[in-house]
Amino acid sequence: MNFSMTEEQRACVALARDFAEEKLQPNAADWDAQSYFPLDVLREAAQLGFAGLYAPVEAGGLGLSRLDSSMILEELAAGCTATTAYLSIHNMCAWMVGHYGQAEVVRHICRDLCSGKAWASYCLTEPDAGSDAASLRTRAVRDGREYVLQGQKAFISGAGSTDWLVVMARTGATGAAGISAFLVDANRHGISYGRLEDKMGWRCQPTRMIRFDEVRIPAEYRLGEEGDGFAIAMRGLDGGRINIGSCSLGTAQAALMRLQQHVQVREQFGKPLAALQTMQFQLADMATRLVAARQMIRLAAWKLDQSEPDASVFCAMAKQMATDTGFDVCNQALQGHGGYGYLRDYPLERYVRDCRVHQILEGTNEIMRLIVARRVLRDDSMLWLQNF
């Protein structure tokens, strides 16, 4: 296996790093404090192609691999975790529209999504359907050339500030096979938004509940065929898990760099913290875990790009490992700063707050473990763990 980045990948990563350092990192603390959703800066990111990373080229996207995209998102997250996390969700929506939308929808709307002219929110979770997404109750009933949408969604990133909604709704019987996917105009009559959720982290992107009260959707705005919605959602989440894991790694890398600088100038008992063997061991463990999690993310992304049959389970492994590691590294970096790490003057407390939710969304890490455990128990030979 070749673990080296190509010249093209290095160029993309450098572009993302420059953007993060110039546009995201200097403003992240203010955005967080003011709960400001930086659509103006997101539009600048879109001009560089970051709003349609892996959306099809014919739909206006860059058509990059999931591996390439994960590297870019990791670099952007080092500048602002929450902004990049929303961008990763938008990219998932753009990919779904570009890949499953009908020709006219792709031609017009997906191009707007990839260019930053329009923004999207992903609507799967409901108040009573979180980890058990197949039990969702939002319903879309066919009425001639339209569907009538009724129900509600919870914890929707960007809700109230975005232009389009990718909505999973029930068109058939109970269970996964009865779910379909729709693209919905976010300002359509019958849509209402709940209060702005007061969150621990991700404070610079709005999160709200959405209610649909007899919202009429043109039938041509269905994504895929009736009954394809759950499969579309799960394919999207495979990539989403890589994306959010990449965001955790980028933030953890930034936290580790902060700690590396801090311990060389901060003195205790007459010498720098870096001279203490316990601190050296901690830095070594943090760096080692970070590299291991990064390789897990890149392996899962490669498997998804190759359409490997076990890609989903590797995406689950990678998401769980990267988000657990990312949070732990940020938390340890805060601890290494002592009382200073707890102050808003330093970014460590924001890193911890922003990374914590990554262990919950895109499937909780408990669900990730269930996915992996079921695969382990299904195959006595265990050779699939070695075939890469």
Active site residues: 362
CA distance 333 to 256: 6
What distances in angstroms separate CA 189 from CA 128, 195, 286, 344, one per listed residue? 25, 18, 50, 41
CA dihedral 210, 211, 215, 221 (to 10 degrees): 30
CA distance 373 to 68: 28
What does 139-159 look like in DSSP terms, one character per residue? EEEEETTEEEEEEEEEEEETT
Sorted by sequence, the CB contacts under 8 Å of residue 285 that are 6+ apart come out as none
CA distance 10 to 16: 10
CA distance 26 to 41: 12
β-pairing, 164-170 with 120-123?
A: parallel
What does 174-188 look like in DSSP terms, one character per residue? SSGGGEEEEEEETT-
329, 289 in Cβ contact below 8 A? Answer: yes
Residue 218, H or E segment: strand 207-218
287, 277 in Cβ contact below 8 A? Answer: no
CA distance 151 to 184: 13
362, 300 in Cβ contact below 8 A? Answer: no
CA distance 110 to 55: 9
What distances in angstroms separate CA 8 from CA 12, 76, 148, 296, 299, one per listed residue? 6, 17, 46, 21, 19
Per the structure block, which two tokens stand in for 236? 């999207």
